[in-house]
Amino acid sequence: MSEIISYGFMQRAIFAGVMVGILCSVLSLFVVLKRLSFVGAGISHSAFGGVALGFLLGIEPTWTATFFCILIALLIGLIKKRGKIQEDTVIGIFFAATMAFGILLVGLSKRYNMDLFGYLFGNILAISSSDVKMVVAVSVIVLTIVGLFFKEFLFYSFDEEMAKVSGIPTGFLNYLLLTLLALVIVVSIKVVGIVLVSALLVIPGATGRQISSNYRGMLACALLVGFFATTGGLTISYLFNLPSGSTIVLTATLLFFLSLLKR
């Protein structure tokens, strides 16, 4: 283990991975309670359109992906509120449309770019110092907001109608939670990739739900899953020369199946 952390790229990878694991685990509490797993998948896949737009325009893909993800997240919330169709239908439409948009932009660029596949499937070992700074900045923003509105988010996630009757601004909380999901998804892309990032927003919370019947225990278990999945997955990736995104998600999945033995 000492050999692994002696390299600068591994230090950055482990730090970014742990921070992303914490962020995803915290939000997975609300994703599981509010049944937003498909929302996470829809927003994460919409990032492909933003990344492809960045490559086409010659702009840092992280910034275009951030704008794109937040826009899609807010549109999902808006159409859900004002439209006459179910939320899963709205997400399905954006899921397909944004992926198609991304593929179209890749075709327009008329060049093959390996970096694009790093965003699709993750490349945590290539995380730079600027990527680490962005992860830290987003972590501070997201964890501060969650800390300030934790009780409101929890009440809203358990019973939206009762929360609304009690005077809690559920509409504001919905848009805020979607925005936080978009931010976390963007910084998680380099760790596990667009294809797999939604798993980290579901598995820790689902594992915590299996083990604990109260939100404190559920959150604690989710955080432990996020930590051990990222550190364990990275170690396996390094030792056996395997894709880090897949090993992280599969480690989290293994922990989920182990939690099933409790019942």
Residue 263: inside a domain, yes or no?
no
Residue 90: inside a domain, yes or no?
yes
Comparing 92 with 181, the larger pLDDT belongs to 181
pLDDT at 1 over 70: no
Residue 149: inside a domain, yes or no?
yes
Q: What distance, in Å, lies between the first and last C-alpha atoms of the chain? A: 34
Mean pLDDT of the chain, nearest integer: 89
Confidence of residue 263 (pLDDT cuts 50, 70, 90): low
Which residues have C-beta within 8 Å of that of residue 172, sequence separation ≥ 6?
none
Residue 104: inside a domain, yes or no?
yes
For residue 77, how many C-alpha atoms fall within 13 Å in the half-sphere facing its CB? 21
Q: pLDDT digits over 219-229, tens only? A: 999 999 999 99
CA–CA dist 8, 202 (Å, integer)? 30
Output the pLDDT for position 261: 86
Output the pLDDT for position 259: 92
Q: pLDDT digits over 176-227, tens only? A: 999 999 999 999 988 888 888 999 999 999 999 999 989 999 999 999 999 9
Output the pLDDT for position 89: 85
Span 97-112, average pLDDT: 83
- Confidence (pTM): 0.92
Comparing 229 with 56, the larger pLDDT belongs to 229
For the chain, how many structural domains are there in total? 1
Crossing angle for the helix pair 8-33 and 150-158, nearest 10 degrees? Answer: 50
Answer for the pair 181, 31: CB distance below 8 angstroms, yes or no. Answer: yes
Output the pLDDT for position 233: 93
Query: Which CATH number goes with the domain that contains 54?
Result: 1.10.3470.10
Residue 253: inside a domain, yes or no?
yes
Confidence of residue 82 (pLDDT cuts 50, 70, 90): confident
Q: Residue 4 carries which DSSP code?
A: G
Q: Which of 167, 144, 165, 178 is nearest to 34 (CA)?
A: 178
Q: Which of 116, 254, 135, 259 is nearest to 191 (CA)?
A: 135
Q: Which domain holds residue 235?
A: 4-186+193-258
Answer for the pair 45, 194: CB distance below 8 angstroms, yes or no. Answer: yes
Residue 13: inside a domain, yes or no?
yes
Q: Which stretches within the chain are classed as H helix?
A: 8-33, 37-57, 61-82, 87-109, 114-121, 129-148, 150-158, 160-165, 170-192, 197-200, 203-211, 215-240, 244-260
Span 17-22, average pLDDT: 94
CA–CA dist 249, 254 (Å, integer)? 9
Q: Residue 60 carries which DSSP code?
A: -
